[in-house]
Chains A and B, each alone.
Chain A
Amino acid sequence: MADLAIRIGKIKFKNPVMTASGTFGFGPEFDDFIDVSRIGAVLVKGITGSERQGNPYPRMAETASGMLNTVGLQNKGIDYFVEKIYPEIIKYDTEIIVNVNGGTIEEYCMVAEKCNKLERINAIELNISCPNVTQGGMIFGTHCPSTIAVTDAVRKSFNKTLIVKLSPNVTDIVEFAQAVEGCGADAVSLINTLLGMAIDAKTHRSKLSTITGGLSGPAVKPIALRMVWQVANAVKIPVIGIGGIMNTNDAIEFFLAGASAVQIGTANFINPAVTIEIIDGINRYLNNKGFSSIHNLIGALEV
């Protein structure tokens, strides 16, 4: 058994495999299929200050090797999470990380402060990269002064481990990673979805109610890998790799590019047991290679 444990901020994770926010519900959705406690961390569905209905149907379009979504942060708000969901999901013997969203800096801070008081929440992921909302979200994540302003403010509201989820919809993602590192973020996670479109040639309409949406799945993996590699070479804080990871090999590629951990997203939709398969697969891979630890792989790309 190789050592899969990694450290991000103040937390030691039992393994480097996490779920990507918005692809795993809150965890119980997967109880019939897997032992959720075996996952390194569960990143719950994005949460805002108050309830949001999300965007109208249709919210999804299948694309070549991927999908577009425009869910638009449908959730019941932080108070509902604290009262109804949190007490249920702390049954899991793993880290629960809240994906924090807002339309304003004040809303982000309010959600972060409420998470700060929850004993079993040791980290939040600040989502400044949701492409499917008209206020907040990606607007904060694609304009560097706004990124700094919101990260600074949330850093003051939350004294545990702070991860910032970056948008790929920028010219130079390194600039944003360095900016949030400068604000005291403990880690960056990347990439969120890429802004895309799908059009129905028969009806001359967009396949999504909001016209544009976020692209995920294997189609985005090469871009995600490149961005992880660039960022890992430019910051000292850990990088969490996300983007089209469907199996163990995909995950290994992200570690080689410099990721300290990975998040599994869209793959959960097609194989609800994929997270566990990847954890077991990484262990087997390390054993076969004769590596004692996941750290033998992180950033080990030969150039």
Chain B
Amino acid sequence: MKKRIEDLKILENKRLNEEFFVLKLKSDQTFEKILPGQFAEVRVDGSPTTFLRRPISIYDVDYDENTLYLLFKIAGDGTLKISELKAGENLNLVYPLGNSFTVGNVKRVLLIGGGTGVAPMLILGKYLKNEFKITPEFLLGYRSKELIIEKDKFNSLGTVYITTEDGSEGHKGLVTHHPVLQENNEDIDQIYCCGPEPMMKAVSGIAKDNNIPCEVSMENLMGCGIGACLCCVVDTYDEGNVITCTQGPVFNSNRLKWQI
């Protein structure tokens, strides 16, 4: 859909656990289609050290209620300020921005998310299920059980595998250690991944070794989110520096020259 600048009303700003928050926002206008992988640039008011908007992944959309959900964690002064906002207040968004995950002729898909990177996986899982009749498998990585994000929402869409670094739930270790990725991966047609860059790089490596197409969603420092400032580039093998906010944030992982 067309990008727009809009004040949305906060219906809820819910703290899920020690780290993560979900904002539920209501628009006065209807949404046309918001695609999985797209994000919003959120204006932060009243934080003297925050000048630019904050790019946040779109986590879920309810087209009947005209509401959308943003998942975030406190990463600095800007997101701290957003975490303090109350129901009834407005939040100014520029959205929906960026490209989206692509769906080819696939049967078995694995959606891998780490931390706030689980956000685009929920909306993608819903999209796969509703529009392509594909039941997604989620592989979600957290540091510990307490940080797991809205497990029921993911469970309602497909199979959920959990890894925790401390072993307090699911498989102990990182997502890349999980059997679904290491052993039972022969008939996976497509991997989608969003999370910390080392995780995405490692997942991309496994995908490449097993000839599984893989798309990752990059989270670069952005100035504008609309392709005007050219700050958020990623280096690619085929085109050199490309702009994450408009030519991404979703990329075929084989294109990327990882910087880490």
Show the binding face of A for B, using Cβ within 8 Å: 22-25, 29-30, 32-33, 45, 53-54, 56-67, 69, 71, 74, 217, 268-273
Cα A25 to Cα B229 with chains together (Å): 7
**Chain B contacts for A23, CB-based, 8 A:** 228-229
A74 touches B5 (CB 8 A): no
Contact with A along B29-56 (1 / 0, CB 8 A): 0000000000000010000111111000
Smallest Cβ distance from B60 to chain A, in angstroms? Answer: 23
Further contacts, 8 of them, CB under 8 A, given A32-B3, A67-B52? A57-B220, A57-B234, A60-B223, A69-B231, A71-B230, A272-B5, A272-B94, A272-B228
Q: Known: A23-B228, A32-B3. Contact between A56 and B235, CB under 8 A?
A: yes
B240 within 8 A of A: yes
**Chain A contacts for B52, CB-based, 8 A:** 62, 67, 269-270
Most buried by B among A61, A217, A271: A271
**Chain B contacts for A45, CB-based, 8 A:** 230
**Chain B contacts for A63, CB-based, 8 A:** 51
**Chain A contacts for B110, CB-based, 8 A:** none
Most buried by A among B230, B240, B259: B230
Cα A54 to Cα B232 with chains together (Å): 12
A-B CB contacts (within 8 Å), total count: 94
Q: Known: A58-B221, A272-B94. Contact between A67 and B51, CB under 8 A?
A: yes
**Chain B contacts for A53, CB-based, 8 A:** 240-241
Q: Known: A67-B223, A271-B5. Contact between A29 and B228, CB under 8 A?
A: yes
B71 within 8 A of A: no
**Chain B contacts for A66, CB-based, 8 A:** 51
B226 within 8 A of A: yes
- Determine the residue in chain B with the shortest Cβ distance to A66: B51
B259 touches A57 (CB 8 A): yes
Most buried by A among B3, B53, B228: B228
**Chain B contacts for A217, CB-based, 8 A:** 51
**Chain B contacts for A272, CB-based, 8 A:** 5, 94, 224, 226, 228
**Chain A contacts for B232, CB-based, 8 A:** 57, 59-60
Smallest Cβ distance from A241 to chain B, in angstroms? Answer: 20
Interchain residue pairs with CB less than 8 A apart (20): A22-B229, A22-B230, A29-B228, A45-B230, A57-B220, A57-B232, A58-B221, A59-B230, A62-B51, A67-B52, A69-B231, A71-B229, A71-B230, A217-B51, A268-B224, A269-B52, A269-B53, A269-B223, A270-B52, A272-B5
A60 touches B226 (CB 8 A): no
Smallest Cβ distance from B54 to chain A, in angstroms? Answer: 10
Smallest Cβ distance from A69 to chain B, in angstroms? Answer: 6
Q: Known: A29-B227, A56-B235. Contact between A65 and B51, CB under 8 A?
A: yes
- Determine the residue in chain A with the shortest Cβ distance to B78: A62
**Chain B contacts for A32, CB-based, 8 A:** 2-4
Smallest Cβ distance from B148 to chain A, in angstroms? Answer: 28
